[in-house]
Chain A
Amino acid sequence: MDTVFVLTSITYSAKAQALLKQHGIPSELTRSLNVRQIRGCGYGLKVNSIDKEEAEKLMKNNGIKIAGVTVEQSL
């Protein structure tokens, strides 16, 4: 299972993706049903669940608000 962080806007999603990439954490943008259920028009950033804790810490330390967290099947 992958972890999906629901973020408030595409700008924060892009910022988060760039930040995670800098720290070697791959991620993917999504606007799946799970994301929309947490935040209607929000953007999700999907990471491997192994990276969940570090990704969350990085985002919080860099002022990126996390609106919610959900899980999705890995492809």
Chain B
Amino acid sequence: MIYFDHAATGLPKSESVINAVACAMRYCGNPGRGINEASMAGDRALYNCRNELSKTFNALPENCILTKNTTEALNYAIKGFIDSQKDGFSVLISGFEHNAVTRILKCSKYKNKIKVFTFNADLFDDRKTIENFKNAITPDVKLAILTHASNVCGRIFPIKELVVAAKNASVTVITDAAQTAGITEVASGSYGDIICLPGHKCLYGPSGTGAMIIHQDYRGTLMPLLHGGTGVLSTNVNMPDFYPERFEAGTMNAPAYAGLCQALKEKKRYDKKPVSKIFKFLLNELNRIKGITVIGAPESGCESLWAPIILFNVWGRGSYEVAESLSNEGFALRGGLHCAPSAHKALGTLKTGGIRLSIGRGNTVKQAEALIDAITRKVSG
């Protein structure tokens, strides 16, 4: 299989990540549940992972809440914030959200509590995005949920500037870093009060890992979503008022986080230049093929403002059909709406969807050439 679906999950995982998981499965008991060696092995696995997250994303270890993916982190962050607010308020979003954000905001439970406004992030002009965002901030806006990069077309938005504008207006920022963690700079504070990210995409950690990173200067109270055993304060009927235990109830997946810890340690060893080179190559080649429309892609010279994701369609053929046909030839891409109808609406592809290819570690120019050959055959065939 030639894998071009890193936006879904990063593959392959390294042997050392796999070994870290396997080793932890042999030795880790239930973390935080005792002083026996197995439980403490589990404690070390979790703490070491938090420590690596804290170094990578500029946070205190205890403020790195371990989750199973970005979606869970976003649920904790967004619902935690909404539930903490006594009065109704407005929320700003960009228009490029994944369903992990929009489905929460559309939840009937919040119908009478929040009003959601789209500030319209501009695909090609950061100045317009920043201006639209500033103009959209009214006194009743308390929360902005920012998509760092679109999972559909890859555009990386000017989050740092938006966070400054939000901070000046006392607006809390929750950032969806699903497509940028491991690809470009992400840090709590300058990129958002609360960052939600996956361990399993471009950090190349195991599936079932993610984190909600809360900046140490964030003074708000987030209500917990999950209630249960935390290994501490058992006689207190409420969840603890300190991190991370406030958000981590039940048995934690210590082996998976041991794997994520290893993935974070080895992240620096990987050179990003091959991915950039292949991204530019595929953009150029796809733009040259008659019968292909590339959607929401950068102009030449602007590739660094995009995550390595390309959305395209083959004239006269459905996106699912083409993705399946490519899969039959051994190429892993993804067709359809990518759980982000909002983004497709913003791109004008809500009716058709699109075929998404995403480049990552392990991809080569030869693989990219083979993919172009296969796509060219789909056009002529």
Contact = CB atoms under 8 A, between A and B. Distances in A.
B234 A9 contact: no
A24 to B, nearest CB: 19
B32 A10 contact: yes
B245 A11 contact: yes
Interface stretch (B42-50, B137-145, B150-158, B352-360): B42-50
B60 to A, nearest CB: 7
B31 interface: yes
A41 B240 CA distance: 12
B232 A18 contact: no
Interface string A1-40: 0000000111110110010000000000111000000011
A12 B35 contact: no
B319 to A, nearest CB: 45
Contacts, number: 53
B25 interface: no
Given A8-B242, A10-B43, A18 B51 contact: yes
Contacts of B40: 29
Contacts of B230: 9
A63 B232 CA distance: 19
- Name B's interface SS: loop
B61 interface: yes
B51 A11 contact: no
Q: With a 10 A CB-CB cut-off, give which of A9, A10, A18 has the most chain B CB atoms.
A: A10
Contact of A41 (B43, B233, B242): B233
A10 B232 contact: yes
Q: For this complex, into which size category does the number of interface residues on chain B fall? A: 20 to 34
B17 to A, nearest CB: 22
A40 B240 CA distance: 13
Interface string B242-253: 111100000000
B62 interface: yes
Contacts of B47: 10-11, 14-15, 18
A29 B25 CA distance: 22
B265 to A, nearest CB: 15
Interface string B46-78: 110011000000001110000000000000000
B328 interface: no
A16 B234 CA distance: 22
A39 B235 CA distance: 10
B61 A9 contact: no
Interface of A: 8-12, 14-15, 18, 29-31, 39-43, 63, 65
